[in-house]
A and B are shown apart, each in its own frame.
Chain A
């Protein structure tokens, strides 16, 4: 099945800084989602983005399906952005697979 990798594994930022998180996947996809898991363990769906670019406030995401990667951009980071960011993808007819996550800590 599809394999999903994320980088970096850990990221520490000062409040106000920008960051880019990367997700690589091993095969073509018909689903790619970015999630934020907050410190209470809740999974928040950020983007459904199998291709193209989307923006939602300070967050945006781009998936280049032909090159098998997706990027999540966080601008002007806030302490509430802390947590783990997961990328997950599904190949046609196969199951939804999660990457190992990027742990983000935003310091005040």
Chain B
């Protein structure tokens, strides 16, 4: 059972480039979410999804897009990367909603130069 899988583990971008961070879960969870963690801080919610076809904004959504075409996948898109988006990104999933236990991926470390 792989759980929550994030790819890539590391990425370096130049300012203005675009990229997609991948997140996949094999637990048939309805709820998926993306967080960013900046140095010395806790995690902050970017976007979340309560099921296929449904997404919503979290605390820090600007500069990011998401879509949820399948239950398993929840990609995070950076449309035009900025140095302020240098961070570690975590994807999480849970059976239903934020009130259920959250399972986290290993993270993607992103640097924007």
With A31-B100, A41-B88: A95-B43 Cβ-Cβ less than 8 Å: no
Flag the segment in B17-25, B67-75, B104-112 that touches A: B104-112
Q: Is the CB of A30 within 8 A of B99?
A: yes
Q: Which of A43, A48, A96 contacts B98 (CB 8 A)?
A: A96
Q: Which of B58, B101, B104 contacts A95 (CB 8 A)?
A: B58
Chain A 28-44 interface 0/1 with B at a Cβ cutoff of 8 Å (1 = within): 00110101000001110
The total number of A-B Cβ pairs within 8 Å is 56
Size band of the interface chain B makes with A:
20 to 34
Q: Is the CB of B101 within 8 A of A98?
A: no
Q: Is the CB of A88 within 8 A of B48?
A: no
How close is B7's CB to chain A, nearest CB, in angstroms? 15
Task: Tell me the bound Cα distance from A97 to B43 in angstroms.
Answer: 8
Q: Is the CB of A45 within 8 A of B107?
A: no
Q: Is the CB of A92 within 8 A of B42?
A: no
Size band of the interface chain A makes with B:
20 to 34
Residues of A within 8 A of B101 (CB): 31, 33, 45, 48
Q: Is the CB of B44 within 8 A of A42?
A: no
Q: Which of A41, A48, A97, A100 contacts B107 (CB 8 A)?
A: A41
Q: Does B103 contact A (CB under 8 A)?
A: yes
How close is A31's CB to chain B, nearest CB, in angstroms? 5
With A33-B102, A92-B99, A94-B98: A42-B43 Cβ-Cβ less than 8 Å: no
Q: Does B52 contact A (CB under 8 A)?
A: no
Known: A43-B104, A95-B48, A95-B58. 4 other contacts (CB 8 A): A33-B101, A41-B107, A48-B101, A96-B33
